[in-house]
Amino acid sequence: MSADRARRRVITCACCGQTAAHRGRGYCVACYTRWVYHGRPASGPPAPGATPPKPRAAADLFIPARCRHGHVLGSANLRFTPAGVRYCRACRGDAERAYRERQFTDRHEGHDVIPTRDGRRYCRTCNRGDHDVDEIAVERAAGGDARGIRLTPAEREAAVLRLRAYGHPYWLIAERVGCALHTAWAICHRNGLTVSRRRRAAR
C-alpha cells in the first residue's frame, strides 16, 4: 500500500458499497478510477463489468520504405521493440557507435592514441599505465623485491631503465624485475641504453 493511500480516510463507497479508502466524490479508488476511465459520466461510475472497455485506437500499420536518414526499412533493417515501436537497425547502430566514440574521446583526451590494423583506436597511455606509475613498486622491483607485485608496462620500463642506469647487466635486470632477458634488452634498446656508459659518455 502506498503512503498516499494509507493517509486517506476510510469510507463506504457510494457506488459499490464496500468499505475502502476514499479517492474522491464519495467513491473508493477502484470506482473512482472506473468513473474517470469512462469519461466521468453524470450518473456516476458504472458497475464493474457492466460496461465493456473502450476500444483501443487502431495501431498505425503504415511502414515507410525508408527511415528519416535514408536507410531502407527491409527485413534486415526493420526492428520492433517489445512495446511494438519500430526502429531502424542501421540508425541505432550508428547512434551507438557515435556514443562510444564520444565516450572514448572524453576518457582518453590528451593520451597517446594510435590506430590499430582493423581501424580501431588504441590508447597506449592507459594500456601501459603511464598515467598512474607506482613509484614504490618501481623501487621494490629495482631492489629485487618484485615478488607478489604485478607491474604495469610503464612501471616495468621505469625499473629496467633505473637498473640499467646503475650499470647492471641484462640478466640481472631481468632477474630483479621479473621479466624475460629479451624484454629487458628491448626496453633498453628502445631508449638508447644498449651501449655501454663509457661509449655514451664519449658521445
Return the higher-pLDDT residue of 7 and 85.
Answer: 85
CB 149 within 8 A of CB 133: no
Task: Please check whether residue 137 is in contact with residue 149, taking contact to mean a CB–CB distance below 8 angstroms.
Answer: yes
Confidence of residue 16 (pLDDT cuts 50, 70, 90): confident
Residues 174, 183: contact at Cβ < 8 Å? yes
Whether residue 19 contacts residue 9, with contact meaning beta carbons closer than 8 Å, is answered with no
**What number is the average pLDDT over the span 171-198?**
81
**What's the whole-model pTM score?**
0.43
What is the DSSP annotation of 23-88? Answer: EETTEEHHHHHHHHHTT--TT-PPPTTTSPPPPPPPP-----SB-TTS-B-STTTEEE-TTS-EEE
Q: Where are the domains of the chain?
A: 1-53, 65-107, 135-202
DSSP three-state, residue 74: coil
State the pLDDT confidence band at 187, using cuts at 50, 70 and 90: confident
H-helix or E-strand spanning residue 137: helix 135-142
